[in-house]
Homo-oligomer: A and B are copies of this chain.
């Protein structure tokens, strides 16, 4: 695929576009204008047109976007059709919850194995995914083409596990440990999951509403 450099902000909006387009598709809507998309997502139509223009032309002036075609384009841009394989390391609360409730397949990612050190887990399967001992991880990575590791280990081992993953061909880490894993110049891609971002946004909205209510009663 021909690529142009795309700003981080555009990349961050793509999953939101995808979700919205999935919603529209589920509601039986086949065509959407940049104006309508903008209204539903709190973005200006010109921003939406500009975002999509980074990847080529999807829409037609005055005619809008074909929901399904745009959805497929964005999924492809996000690499969802590339069959990336993932392992999960650390089947504690978060790791277990992800295996139980999160659909990796919906993101185009194939979760092929999990690793832990607990005897009660090692050797079992959960939702079809085998759980191996962390000692077997290096060997497993050498025999399989794994792009991505979901890191859900305790903080005290997060950096050492990251080093093992990096030395064994893992390109990217989805980091649930709330720890800074790598130096700024590390070649490994790390995506930190920050729960606090959404809680703080919620806190903002509650505050805003409280202030508006207060203004009204004065």
A-to-B contact residues, CB < 8 Å: 1, 3, 7-9, 11-12, 14-16, 18-19, 42-43, 77-80, 82, 84, 92-94, 96-98, 100-104, 106-109, 147-148, 171-172, 174, 178, 189, 191-212
From B12, B79, B195, contact of A203 by CB (8 A): B79
B107–A203 contact, CB under 8 A? Answer: yes
Selected from B79, B204, B207, the residue in CB contact (under 8 A) with A206 is B79
Bound Cα distance A107, B22 (Å): 32
In the docked arrangement, what's the CA distance between A202 and B12, Å?
A: 10
Cα separation A203 to B196 with both chains bound (whole Å): 22
Mostly, the A contact residues are helix
Q: Which chain B residues border A84 with CB–CB below 8 Å?
A: 203, 206
| Chain B residues near A199 (CB-CB < 8 A) | 104, 107, 109, 174, 191
Question: Whole-angstrom distance from the CB of A115 to the nearest CB of chain B?
Answer: 17
State how many angstroms separate the Cβ of A108 from the closest Cβ of chain B.
Answer: 7
Contact check, A203 vs B109: say whether CB atoms are below 8 A apart.
Answer: yes
Distance in angstroms between the alpha carbons of A192 and B201 in the assembled complex = 11
| B193/A205 in contact, CB under 8 A | no
Number of copies: 2
Output the least CB separation between A39 and chain B (Å): 12
A9 and B106 contacting across the interface, CB-CB below 8 Å: no
Report yes or no: A195 in contact with B102, Cβ–Cβ below 8 A: yes
**Which residues in B have their C-beta under 8 angstroms from that of A194?**
15, 19
A-B contact pairs, 11 of them (CB 8 A): A9-B43, A15-B196, A18-B200, A79-B203, A94-B94, A107-B199, A109-B203, A147-B206, A148-B202, A172-B206, A174-B202
Give the Cβ gap from A104 to chain B, nearest Cβ, in Å: 8
Q: Give A69 to B106 CA distance when docked, in angstroms.
A: 42
Q: Whole-angstrom distance between the alpha carbons of A101 and B94 in the complex?
A: 10
